[in-house]
Structure 1
Amino acid sequence: MYVIIVGAGEVGRSIAANLEDGHDVVVIDRDADVVEELTYSLDVLTIRGDGTDLEILREADLERAELVIACTDNDETNAVVCGAAKAATDVFTVARVRRRTLLETWQGSQGAFGVDFMVCTDLLTARAIFRISGLPSAHDVDTFAGGLVRMAEFDIPTDSPIVDLTVSEADCYDSLTFAAIFRDDEMIVTRGDTHIRAGDRVVVIGSPDSINEFADEVATKPDDAEEVVIVGGSEVGYQAAREFEDHGFRPRLIERDHERAREIAESLPNTMVMESDATNSEFLAREHVGEADVVVAALDSDEKNLLVSLLADRLGVDRTVAIIENPEYADLFETVGIDVAINPREETAEEIIRFTRTDNTEKIAMLEHDRAEVIEIEIGPESVLAGREIVDATDDLPPGVVIGAISRSGDHITPRGSTVIEPGDHVIVFVDATVLDDVLELI
């Protein structure tokens, strides 16, 4: 696929890095230093210029492009890029925006602005916060097949009952598949005789009920996130509060700015808005923030989010979730005790990248900074899996692949060796990123 990416920030860079091996990629950015750095760090063509300029798009060979992705840090710029591209060709366009209002305008006008698909960064992040908050010890949670299947990545604490068991011994769940283990810097695609150790991160795929049961078994913290505190009235913080409200929660939100606090209070009737500096430990103690099940740090800097999360943890909060803009901080945050670090740009890149997969790809989730992916694919008649038992079909797939679940006509099927995959099935597959392109060609 020939892909033009406009904007080489974290989102654009992440998408380009993911696509460089299997696609022809052109990246456009105004910043000469960024363009020069990308030229030497990635195997992509780079152009310095304004992506809203049709001549620059033509210089990038717009007529040849199958996909244009506009992911600058300006919503209006991204809409204009898509409009300019659409005016000249019938290329598929994707725009990244931060404001939910712009997304709702686009949704209500059936493809306005020349945008074929719009991704709202803050809304995606808010939904990720909500998904992860409900499962103890989960570092990543995603849903597939319209909610029929869930994927989750869990820390295995020392006192977990599955420590030192093999996968076969630990697999006592009705509809669950152990897909992989991340152990230090190693990724292990699980087999029946794979041993589970304390400190492992285990990726499981299955029905929501089985995932919840597994969470109860392996976790050391309660899974009922009844008391939620959101620190920061940023757009992410606001959208997170709205997401919790939509699911019946009554969160508390702390915002320092008077006008922003009043605006949020007027917009979210089921959210208690408190006007204060959330880095004030005396205020946090006075308001019993330490009794919260979850504290979400959504301030305007990574450093402030780290500070608030550490304060909340010191006060006794069960679970801390921090928003980070710099992906290099993710490991640092979790090393010092933050339960989950969520990068909005990674959430956005994950949503956009699926458009570069095969036509049958419904959804993807990237794990451990794209070391592996979980993909939902509709099986066509030409797939190597079609009409065959899994035990036979997987012999034709490269190592590093686990079939985690099957959705057939709205029913969840737990894959076993004798399960026959039929054309039209939606298969959720764990794939090592190093063999991803080969796997996509086969299935």
Structure 2
Amino acid sequence: MDIVIIGAGEVGTAIAEDLAPSHDVTIVDKDPDRAEDLKYQLDVLTMSGDGTSMQTLQTAETEDADLFIACTDDDRANLIACGTAKTLGSPFTIARTKSNEYLKTWEQNRSAFGVDFMVCSDVLTAEDIVRVIGLPEAIDIDPFAGGIVQMAEFEICEESPITGQTIAKADRFESLTFAGLFRGDNILIPSGETRIKAGDRAVVIGSPESVQSFAMDLASDKTPGSADEIVIVGGSDIGYHAARLLEERGLEPTLIEEDKDRARHLAEELPETLVMQHDPADTEFLMREHIDEADVLLAAIDADERDLLVAVLAKRLGVDRVVATVDNLQYVDLFEEIGIDVAINPREVTAEEIIRFSFESVAENLSVLEHDQAEVLEFELDADSELDETPIRELDAEISFPFVIGAVTRNNRLIPPRGETKLREGDHIVVFVETEYVSDLTCLA
């Protein structure tokens, strides 16, 4: 497939890195130095130029492209680029936007702006945050197989009840599979004898009920079983959408916004949310309002330095769980290293959604883990699949690269994967695999 990507920032680079091994990718960016760097960093064609210019898009041979992705930080430029691409050929166009208004317009008319698929960073990030908030101790969670299956990632701490246990002992749930462990810079495909260590990040796949039970079992005594008291600091678009989604779940969060006009607007838009206008870094105010009693605090101020300050302050006050949005991808590890429970980067969330959609021809769903070290993919097996009518235990001998089948669904029912389970045409399988072997896996399915 011929793919043109407009924008070589964090989003565009992540998309290109994932798609380049299987497709012919061209990246266009205004910065000639950035374009030149990517030429050597990735196996792609690069060029410098304005992605909204017809001449630039013609030079990039957009008229022959199958897929056109506009993912710069400028919403309007992305929409113009997609519209221009449609005048040159008939590529499938994907536009990134931060504005929910553009998304609403497009949802009313799917041909608007010349965009075939629109990704709204702020809404996606809020949805990701709300999923994580709903599962104790989780740092990442994604649904598969229409919600029948969940993938979740957990960081194992020193006090965790499964620290030091073998996988065989820790795996006490009928419909749950330990798919992988991230240990430092290494990925482990665990066996029953693999011992879980503090600092590991465990990826489990199974029914939502089993994943929830595992999360509850994993949680320390001070961790709440459900997040009822939720405080959102920052009335940014992400903060607003997170509050709105929490309201839809029947919750009544508290939102702190410093700007008086913005706070008034949010109070009108969020009837079930307690909106407070105040400086969120005022320790006396936070103590007076008993913020330390919150189950979860979300820092979503739209400024990494302020988010970091508020997140650290919340931890010092004793908030059980702190989630923060981090605009600069390079700061994500810093946030987590100093004790912030979950750091979510909107650009990374956006790139994952676009990659997921781009893979739909071979995989129905996809989740990118640990900055693209591994992926969880969902496939539907057809009669031509090499996996059809094959027992799972035989796959290890037949397939040279490591992978784990985390779940199988058949006729909308979950089948726990066991050695004797025979895969059949029409099955949906959810697989954990290192990113470098994704192309090899898709060939089999």
What interval of TM-score do these two structures reach, taking the shorter chain for normalisation? over 0.9
Moved more, 116-125 or 395-404: 395-404
Q: Which amino acid aligns with 1:313?
A: K
The 5 A counterparts of 1:182-201 are: 182-201=182-201
Partner of residue 343, structure 2:
341
| Distance in 2, Cα, partners of 1:312 & 1:177 | 34
Q: 1:208-235: per-residue Cα shift (whole Å, max 9, x none)?
A: 1100110111121123100111111111
Which one of the candidate residues 349, 353, 356 is aligned to 1:354?
356
8 Å contact 1:309–1:338 — kept in the other structure?
yes
RMSD: 1.4
Distance change (3 Å), C-alpha of 1:411 and 1:317: same
3-state SS of the aligned residue for 1:407? strand
Partner of residue 425, structure 2:
423
Q: 1:111-130: per-residue Cα shift (whole Å, max 9, x none)?
A: 32221111111111001101
3-state SS of the aligned residue for 1:73? coil
Partner of residue 162, structure 2:
162
Query: How far off its partner does 1:394 sit?
Result: 4.1
Q: 1:66-101: per-residue Cα shift (whole Å, max 9, x none)?
A: 110011112222122112112222211111111122
Partner of residue 134, structure 1:
134
Query: How far off its partner does 1:157 sit?
Result: 2.5
| Distance in 1, Cα, partners of 2:185 & 2:219 | 22
Q: Which amino acid aligns with 1:19?
A: L
Gaps in structure 1 of 5+ consecutive residues: none
TM-score scaled by length of structure 1: 0.97
Partner of residue 369, structure 1:
371
The yes-or-no answer on 1:36 pairing with 2:36 is yes
The 5 A counterparts of 1:41-190 are: 41-190=41-190
The yes-or-no answer on 1:15 pairing with 2:12 is no
| Distance in 1, Cα, partners of 2:146 & 2:75 | 29
Query: How far off its partner does 1:358 sit?
Result: 5.7
8 Å contact 1:385–1:394 — kept in the other structure?
no
Which one of the candidate residues 232, 236, 251 is aligned to 1:234?
236
Identity of aligned residues (%): 52
Partner of residue 279, structure 1:
281
| Distance in 2, Cα, partners of 1:394 & 1:352 | 31
| Distance in 1, Cα, partners of 2:357 & 2:140 | 21
3-state SS of the aligned residue for 1:420? coil
Query: How far off its partner does 1:145 sit?
Result: 1.2
TM-score scaled by length of structure 2: 0.96
| Distance in 2, Cα, partners of 1:31 & 1:178 | 43
| Distance in 2, Cα, partners of 1:50 & 1:112 | 22
Q: Which amino acid aligns with 1:191?
A: S
Query: How far off its partner does 1:395 sit?
Result: 2.9
Distance change (3 Å), C-alpha of 1:398 and 1:301: farther
Query: How far off its partner does 1:404 sit?
Result: 0.5
| Distance in 2, Cα, partners of 1:175 & 1:205 | 8
Moved more, 45-54 or 144-153: 45-54
| Distance in 1, Cα, partners of 2:135 & 2:171 | 19
Q: 1:362-406: per-residue Cα shift (whole Å, max 9, x none)?
A: 111111101000111111222221122111234332332100111
8 Å contact 1:360–1:379 — kept in the other structure?
no
Which one of the candidate residues 390, 403, 406 is aligned to 1:404?
406
Moved more, 100-109 or 308-317: 100-109
3-state SS of the aligned residue for 2:364? strand
| Distance in 1, Cα, partners of 2:138 & 2:224 | 12
| Distance in 2, Cα, partners of 1:112 & 1:409 | 36
Q: 1:341-374: per-residue Cα shift (whole Å, max 9, x none)?
A: 0000111101111243361411111111010001
8 Å contact 2:369–2:375 — kept in the other structure?
yes
| Distance in 2, Cα, partners of 1:44 & 1:314 | 46
3-state SS of the aligned residue for 1:334? helix
Partner of residue 204, structure 1:
204
| Distance in 1, Cα, partners of 2:390 & 2:442 | 17
8 Å contact 2:302–2:327 — kept in the other structure?
no
Partner of residue 308, structure 2:
306
Moved more, 181-190 or 155-164: 155-164
Q: Which amino acid aligns with 2:434?
A: D
8 Å contact 1:157–1:218 — kept in the other structure?
no
The 5 A counterparts of 1:240-255 are: 240-255=242-257
Q: Which amino acid aligns with 1:95?
A: A
Query: How far off its partner does 1:42 sit?
Result: 2.5
